[in-house]
Amino acid sequence: MLYDHKPFLLVVSAPSGCGKTTLLNQLFRKVKGLVVSVSHTTRKPRNNETDAVDYHFVDSVEFSRMQNDGQFLESATVHGNSYGTSSFSLKNLMDNGRDVVLDIDVQGMKEVKSASQFDLVTIFILPPSMEELESRLRNRQTDADAVIKKRLLNAAVEISNACFYDYIILNENIDLACERLKAIVYAERSRSTRTNLMGVFPD
């Protein structure tokens, strides 16, 4: 092989209900060499979620213990629940030479960026409109009305932070959005600054 690329962290944020999970699942099917970091959360699992696959579901005592021990690279309270990225798990994933996807919110992105020890690529997923976002949140029938209202308020705040990301993708059509996501991953892998040329030039 003539070249390889230095792995990076791909931070993907989106307001809840934007289709980010579907989009990322499609990306993982189409692009090799990506792995997702599984966060810890105090949120209760939804019906279709599995512990250690979707999240590490922990209670607030365990979450606080990990936080006090300094085990999180970043953590945030989102919609009233705690979420955090374990530094230890992330390091293990990065040591495997794959690009690691962090599905975290705006607060988390800012915290990871300020840690400045990582090579980051940040992407914000936008919904087509607030009306469409509300109808997607209601149609998925996983959250109570009060929760949906909280998520919509939070969405407006998150969208106002989209300008702090390297890329913005409008998710109006899942296939088109996935094509753009793929294009970003391939372009970022091809940056000369991330390229290891092996055996191309004499020593």
How many CB atoms are located within 10 Å of the residue 129 CB?
Answer: 10
Residue nearest to ligand 5GP (CB): 108
Residue placing its CB nearer to ligand 5GP in the complex, 74 or 188: 74
The answer to whether the CB of 108 falls within 8 A of the CB of 83 is yes
CB of 173 to ligand 5GP, least distance (A): 21
Of 29, 24, 9, nearest to 169 (Cα)? Answer: 24
Q: For ligand 5GP, give the closer residue by CB, 39 or 171.
A: 39
Q: What is the DSSP string of 15-71?
A: -TTSSHHHHHHHHHHH-TTEEEPPPEE-SPPPTT--BTTTBEE--HHHHHHHHHTT-
CB of 101 to ligand 5GP, least distance (A): 11
> Other C-beta atoms within 10 Å of 177: how many?
22
Q: Could you tell me which of 88, 98, 99 has the C-alpha nearest to residue 10?
A: 99
Q: Which residues bind ligand 5GP (CB under 6 A)?
A: 13, 16, 39, 43, 74, 76, 78, 83-85, 103-105, 107-108
Which CB atom, from 39 or from 122, has the smaller least distance to ligand 5GP?
39
Q: Which residues contact 187 (CB under 8 A, 6 or more apart)?
A: none
Query: Minimum Å distance from CB 76 to ligand 5GP?
Result: 4
Task: Quote the least distance from Cβ 43 to ligand 5GP, whole Å.
Answer: 5
- For residue 189, the minimal CB distance to ligand 5GP (Å) is 23
